[in-house]
Amino acid sequence: MASHFRSAEQQGAVDDELNQLATPDSAPQVPAVSADDTGELLASDAVAPAPSVETPEAVHVVTAADPATVPADQPASESVYSSLSNDEAPVVSRTGTPTVSFKNVSLIYPAQPNKPALDDVSLDIYPGEFVFVVGHSGSGKSSLLRLITRELKASSGQVIVAGQDLTKMRNKKVPYLRRQIGTVYQDFKLLPDKTVYENVAFALECIGKPRSVVKAQVPEVLRLVGLGERMNHFPDQLSGGEQQRVSVARAMVNRPPLLVCDEPTGNLDPAISLGIMKLLDLINRNGTTVIMATHDREMVDSMRKRVIALEAGHVVRDQERGGYGYYGAL
Q: Is residue 279 part of a domain?
A: yes
What's the pLDDT band for 96 if we cut at 50, 70, 90?
A: confident
Residue 328: per-residue pLDDT: 44
**pLDDT the model gives residue 169:** 95
Pairing of strands 130-134, 156-161: unpaired
- 85 vs 311 pLDDT, higher one: 311
Confidence band, pLDDT 50/70/90 cuts, at residue 314: very high
Per the rule left: phi > 0, alpha: psi between -120 and 50, beta: everything else, 225 is alpha
Q: Chain-wide mean pLDDT for the chain?
A: 79
Q: Per-residue pLDDT for 224 more than 90?
A: no
Q: What digits encode the pLDDT tens for the residues 2-23? A: 445 555 555 555 556 555 555 4
Number of separate domains in the chain = 1
Amino acid 64: pLDDT = 31
Distance CA 230, CA 309 (A): 38
* pLDDT, tens digit, 9 for 90 and up, residues 143-164: 999 999 999 999 999 999 989 9
The SS3 call for residue 260 is strand
Q: What is the CA radius of gyration of the chain?
A: 19
Query: pLDDT tens digits, residue range 185-216?
Result: 888 899 999 999 999 999 999 888 999 999 99
Could you read off the pLDDT of 23-79 as tens digits, one per residue?
444 333 333 333 333 333 333 343 344 444 444 433 333 333 333 334 444 444 466
Residue of 13, 243, 292, 273 whose CA lies nearest to 129: 292
pLDDT score at 126: 96
Please report whether residue 34 resides in a domain: no
Torsions phi, psi for 8 (to 5 deg): -65, -30
Under DSSP, the state recorded for 63 is -
Evaluate if residue 127 carries a pLDDT over 70. yes
Q: Is residue 162 part of a domain?
A: yes
Question: Does residue 188 belong to any structural domain of this protein?
Answer: no
Q: What is the pLDDT of residue 48?
A: 40
Q: What is the pLDDT of residue 79?
A: 67
Q: Interior CA angle at 182 toward 184 and 119, to 5°?
A: 75
**What residues make up the domain containing 163?**
2-22+93-180+256-319
Q: Answer whether residue 227 shows pLDDT above 50.
A: yes
CATH number for the domain spanning 173: value is: 3.40.50.300
Give residue 326's pLDDT band: very low, low, confident or very high (50, 70, 90): confident
| Higher per-residue pLDDT: 106 or 329 | 106
In a domain, 112, yes or no: yes
The answer as to whether 110 is a domain residue is yes
Whether 1 has a pLDDT exceeding 80, the answer reads no
Closest CA to 233 of 224, 217, 222: 222
Whole-number pLDDT of residue 327: 55
Whether residue 125 is predicted with pLDDT greater than 70 in this model: the reply is: yes
Flag whether 275 is in a domain: yes
124 or 10, which is more confident?
Answer: 124
Q: Is residue 155 in a domain?
A: yes
pLDDT for position 72: 43
Q: Which of the two residues, 2 and 259, has the higher pLDDT score?
A: 259
Residue 269 binned pLDDT confidence (cut-offs 50, 70, 90): confident
What number is the average pLDDT over the span 297-319? 94
Q: What does the chain come to in residues?
A: 330
pTM here is 0.75
